Amino acid sequence: MKLVEHFKEGLGGPICLTWELTYACNLACEHCLSSSGRRDPRELSTDECKAVIDELQRMQVFYVNIGGGEPTVRPDFWELLDYAVDHGVGVKFSTNGVRLTPDRAKQLAATDYVDVQISIDGATREVNDHVRGPGSYDMAIRAMDNLAAAGFTGFKISVVMTRQNVDQLDEFQAIADAYGAQLRITRLRPSGRGADVWDELHPTQAQQLQLYNWLVAHGEDVLTGDSFFHLNALGSTPLPGLNLCGAGRVVCLIDPVGDVYACPFAIHDAFLAGNVLSTGGFEHVWRHSELFTELRQPQSGGACTSCSAYDSCQGGCMAAKFFTGLPLDGPDPECVKGKAEPALELVGAGSTPRPDKDHSRTAGRTQAPVSLGMPTPRAAVPDRACDTSPLAGLQADTERTF
């Protein structure tokens, strides 16, 4: 049996666990996956977080991807970071850079098992700030400068690909090269506030081909969190990665209140498996929850089964389908064979599942939109600076040893 078939049946623990530490965020990105902004008053306490880390250590979850919200705005963030590392749980955290002062950068450079991922969504201030808000580009660059000055190389620069920044791929690579950093690009999802801007921001069909060709040319030097496997039907060269939806099988998400979801891009009751505070904790949810058990059963390709490309794209992304109102066993909304259009036409207005966990700061817009001279995304309010990537860091050489 091939390794990937084992993965489909689930493992003793996740390979890649995303942990959103807080919904609080200083930014208000238009496409925030988790509709972040305000802190949830039920947020796990410091002690509860440490208990989760203890459990991850017992389950030998070797590292977690920490995000938010903006995780560094938690007052106990640095304490939890040290606690995780001291307990054999490596950390990669995503940040917009707000707290990465020169001193923190030095501290991070001196800590083993910690990786940092800075989010920007434009290679220029103009394109970035349009989506992430005024000042966010300068803040991220300052954080990168601080890391570089502290001698921290190899950090990640994480970019969500949009219609406005696909043309900047080479510029993103140049920024990463200049810092000795590694570029990571991931797919825009219609999750959280991303549902509001999906139609304006998701790449065109022509851009998907451009993106695929760029990824093929750059190979494993660029990280993708395995998020573009739906593009594999565009050519004969498979993109590095598992080509697998890992939801509930090898990845999952713990949210700030301890709820466990199958996928980092699907914070919705339909994908809620349990809570780490319940009896049996995270381990019980991972191994025995009804939802995860179901996701580990053989999945039907449904309407896609007869398509010649099904083996290469596996029907695409569950979260993208769900939040655009498509059946989970049908084509991805960005199906490169164009098979989603007829299905999307049948999705009635108002029948798309709405993100049901909104932490946006609704007290009113705190920032003026930055004009790009392009159609402005629908008035969305504050959000967060996050991006998460399932299977990040997972090597493509899974078939190497035996």
Partner 1 sequence: MPERPYRLSPDVSLRPEPFGALVYDYATRRLSFLKTPMLVAVVRELANQPDVPTTLDAAGVPDGEHARYLDALAGLAEAGTIQPR
Binding residues for partner 1, per CB under 8 A? 1, 3, 6, 9, 11-13, 15, 60, 62-63, 88, 90, 112-113, 115, 393-395, 397-398, 400-402
* CB nearer partner 1, residue 1 or residue 379: 1
Return the C-alpha torsion angle 389, 395, 401, 402, nearest 10. 50
- The DSSP annotation for 337-358 comes to TS-HHHHHHTS-TT-SPPP---
| Beta carbon of residue 156, minimum distance to partner 1 (angstroms, whole number) | 11
| Beta carbon of residue 398, minimum distance to partner 1 (angstroms, whole number) | 6
CB atoms within 10 A of CB 294: 12
Residues 6 or more apart in contact with residue 120 via CB below 8 angstroms = 128, 132, 136, 137, 140, 141, 157, 158, 159, 172, 175
d(CA 89, CA 14) in angstroms, rounded, equals 13
Residues 6 or more apart in contact with residue 79 via CB below 8 angstroms = 46
CA atoms within 13 A on the CB side of 287: 9
| Beta carbon of residue 13, minimum distance to partner 1 (angstroms, whole number) | 7
d(CA 231, CA 213) in angstroms, rounded, equals 10
d(CA 345, CA 188) in angstroms, rounded, equals 21
Is 364 exposed, middle or buried, given 0-12, 13-18 or 19+ CB atoms closer than 10 A? exposed
d(CA 26, CA 97) in angstroms, rounded, equals 10
* CB nearer partner 1, residue 20 or residue 115: 115
* CB nearer partner 1, residue 136 or residue 182: 182
Maximum separation of any 2 CA atoms in the chain, in Å: 57
Structure tokens at 130: 């349009």
Least Cα distance to 172 among 203, 130, 133, 211 occurs for 211
Q: Are 15 and 368 a contacting pair, CB within 8 Å?
A: no
C-alpha triplet 199, 203, 204: angle, nearest 5°:
90
| Beta carbon of residue 338, minimum distance to partner 1 (angstroms, whole number) | 36
| Beta carbon of residue 394, minimum distance to partner 1 (angstroms, whole number) | 6
